[in-house]
Structure 1
Amino acid sequence: MTQLLGLLIALGLCIPSAAEDLKGVAVEAPGAPEWTGGVGRQWALVIGIDKYRFHTPLSNCVHDSRSLAALLRDKYGFERIIELYDESATQQAIIDSLRDLASNLTEENSLLIYFSGHGTKDDLTGDAFWVPVEGKSEVDFIASDRIQRYVRAMKARHIWVVCDSCFSGRLFAEKGVTVEPAEGELDRYVTEALKKKSRLVLASGGDEPVTAEGFEGHSVFAHYFLKALENPPRGWTDSSQVFNQVKVDIARNASQSPQMGAIFETDHRGGEFILVPRRLPEGELKGILLDTATQAPLRGARVGPIGTDRAGEADIQGAFSLKLVVGTYPGLRIQAPNLPPSEVRGEIKIVEGQVLDLGNVLVSPPLPALPPPPPLIEEPPAPATTTAGIPLPSGERIELVELPGSPIRIGKYEITQSEWGSVVAGLPVSKHDLPLDPSKIKGARYPVENVSLEDCREFCRRLSSHFGKEVRLPTEEEWEAACRAGGSGLYVWGESPEEAAAYANFGGGDHGGTFEVGSFKPNQLGIHDLAGNVGEWCEPGPRKELVYRGGTWKDRLESLRCDWRVAVTPKTPPSGYVGFRIVCAR
């Protein structure tokens, strides 16, 4: 049995400053191309299998599938998504779903089907198969020609089969069908592509196995496929443009060759599968940045809402303007030339179709740091639910919480960027250097992220030498015990999904990034952010997998479960979604 990392079938129609109040006056402000209404009603079938009954378990497939389903639902506004994961992804359930789609699709629909699991081929006949969760032999598998028959029976004008799998190239015959339209002819190109019927397949490889290693808990192909959908180059994309982007990215990072072509005998007529993100309501924010001391405009300063990647640049008069998704933001982050990063706190409420004019925004340099207090010589004993701390060179303390019945204490919060910087700049190197400021979303009290497992271990080694006790990452068992707080709840707060928003930063949302640690309710032990915000590295167990726990700010509710885990490979690069917290002997 050869590992199938993922198979997607898409079917579809043609540093802190002194806080200052922000005040503003809202005034009325003065889209998508006209053809975007022609993409039709979009549906999807998403299948992911990790826990096979008779074959080697996989680690990426369900995560790949759920991530795609969330992207299609949240970014592209898919109307209907059928999801089959692990035990629900039986041969009968998959066939029933294909039949249901074949019976109910019309020319007004768009449909995306994603399969991620094991795949194999018959060396004698050359037939390729999907392997459902209970599949044991070929009689239980789903042959590629059977998939083709259902595709042929579907009335949807556009069907795109995207296969991240071994032997995935066997689903198509014709290669070289991609198109790169001229910029001046985009509207005409898309109009024609929507009219013409399409039956396309994008395969992660040809008639061969594909690599199991990937990035951020995804297979190589799924990582770059999702990236292409998350960041469409023109504000929209299509099957050809996704293929062109994915094949270049994979060629630079892995030894496999994606292919694209028309599906065997399904009447492909030259159309394209078009994907248009749904338009999120926006408003505009503007103002003038001035130096508090001199009242001079901060020319060239970068400014954007705290907790987002959006930013604009102030002009020669210090004026800035940027479009923002409707929502409430906690303030502005500002990086002015020759000044340290600063924040101006105050509620910023963006209303659809309106301009929020902040007027003059006064930016003060950070106050000088206070001298550090004398180092703590000895920690006094603490009750089970109280906190103790590890002193840092900067004078800060990493707060810890004792785990009842355990010989360890665990971090009350995720390690912050300020704590990281204090250790990196103030303590001797143990085995290797560390980046001073690795995080993608900046803020002293924001969790550090974009750090590797080895970086976190080096941080712990330096802290151990400084403190005189072993400091390390938690094991998965220790992390889960802290998450459940001595109970057996599904989530850090218990069982009810309705309580999630009070305890966790998740689901992307209007904020679109990390929050300061401690912004959400703690669990019963007083530990914050075990669910959401950033995923948290754990020490590998006997299987030597690299694992992070707890879900991230962009993940969906199911990722917040206490038993949720994401395994990645040693070659996985650091991620802006993953940080850590520490444990220490009592």
Structure 2
Amino acid sequence: MVKQFSVRILSIFFLYLAGTAGIFAQDRGISFSGQRPGEPQPVLGKQYALFIAIDGYQHWPALRNPVSDARDIRDILVGDYYIDEVIELYDRDATKENIIRTFTSLQERLSVHDSLFVYFAGHGHLDSASGAGFWIPSDAGTDRFAQSNWLPNSQIRGYISRLKSIHVFLVSDACFAGDILDTSRSLPERIGSDYYRRSYSLVSRQVLTSGSIETVPDESEFAGALKMCLRKNTKPLIDPIEIYNEVRLSVAASTPLYGTLKQANHQDGATFLFFRRDGTSPAVVLSGAPAPERGAPAPVPETVKPEAMVRIPGGRFVMGSPGEESGRYDDERLVDMELDPFYMAPKPVTVGEFRKFTEATGYKTAAEIAGGGVILDGTRWRMAEDVSWDRPFFDQSEENPVVLVNWFDAAAYCNWKSERDGLTPAYYINGGTVVWNRGADGYRLPTEAEWEYACRAGTDTPFYTGKSISTDQANYDGNFPPEGDSKGLFRKKTTPAESFLPNQWGLYGMHGNIWEWCWDWYGPYPSISLVKRGYSGPPSGDRRVSRGGGWLSTGANLRSASRNYMEPSYRAADTGFRLVRSGQ
């Protein structure tokens, strides 16, 4: 399947370069009239954006604006430009270790055709004895000799220089940021189609800083100018040189610098590009129809509710549980979340639905390949070699939720169903690496925030049934009901997915029966007052989140706020998944 993002960007890119030159679909790709023989042809991969911003420090003075500035820039880019995946490290998540882990992960994930935008806002420091500049992570010490958890600019350069991506654009809004770059105030003699065609085919490592070897103010003129530049741009493309020229004229309190990353293999004339979303629709490109005239509005597809899915309205809610809630854990700290609308399946994926996948593809789950999964043996869990999704140790029907599938099995099912239904798969899967293409319209796993928001369905009680839940309302171990409730049944197996009444939004089985895999890596919630749309957990980890509680769970573990976490390779007789799709 052609990747929707890349095709759409290509159409914008070459429409911009070739004016009204025709664009026609061919059997094995897209040809572009107006291309000069012998010229390099740009290849577009994914567009990543990494935001690292810190207001609250453990030892350094607090700042007021970096996180809000980062989120504003994120919202502009996600709303107006093509961004495939956003990675965010804010406040206590922006430790030295997490920053290093993130860059190391990106070195493994990014391909040679991808582009990465990096934004850092927080404290910076210049060591006067050595002339070295540093980023100051949230856990950095203040002793200028120990330099505990300081991150040298030279180390940042090293991480970026070893990325496989063809383009990297680093924006640093911090004191003493200028020593990370080779400054350049020279511009090409002429910026036009030849410039963009050539420059986007070369390796770029560009840097824009809010100041040189100087302090910069907390209330950042620089960030405000950058936001204004990105907002008011109406051209299909904008590059760092154009951004620098706009920003430097709007900043008086410091001296913004533009240049290339020192010792990072930047090729002369190369450039990073942001692409606006108001270009030609990929449907026009793929249909073989002539491209619309420049400036003509692109066709806007009507949003259609996916068949057999429930529309979950966007909005804000309080995630987590209050301190007095019975059965809560410390990792359920209250945090305000803001979500876009999305669609959720009314029930988990069933045995019958999963069977269609395996029969169509020959797919074998981890339990089938690696020797079984975890089952209940009397009163304890144990690994059993002779079980799998269609052979659990209990009887099940085609309407029961599928279990004994791990996180990777769930992601593979999502992509298969997307392709079957003519949608762009949400995941790029390469062995044990799974990358979420946020611009895709295919099926995916819910984020942890989406899951809890949908489960609550507007309620703020421990369960969407209120302060208590019985085994007449959900499937769990009735020997251990919520505090103050009477004991009930212990069925010792799954029940059909629609066995109990749905919640207020029409979703079945959000409490009990099975734990449901979510997208997120497990980690602490962000330590800020409001988490805006797009949050999907920490950028990396070793365990994935599951939600909802299973047939073996205690009543307390069915609470809307209750969190579970397991290695993504884990497969058990009480764990399955349900699907969501992005959309308005």
* Shorter-chain TM band: 0.3 to 0.5
More strand by share: 1
Normalising by structure 2, report the TM-score.
Answer: 0.42
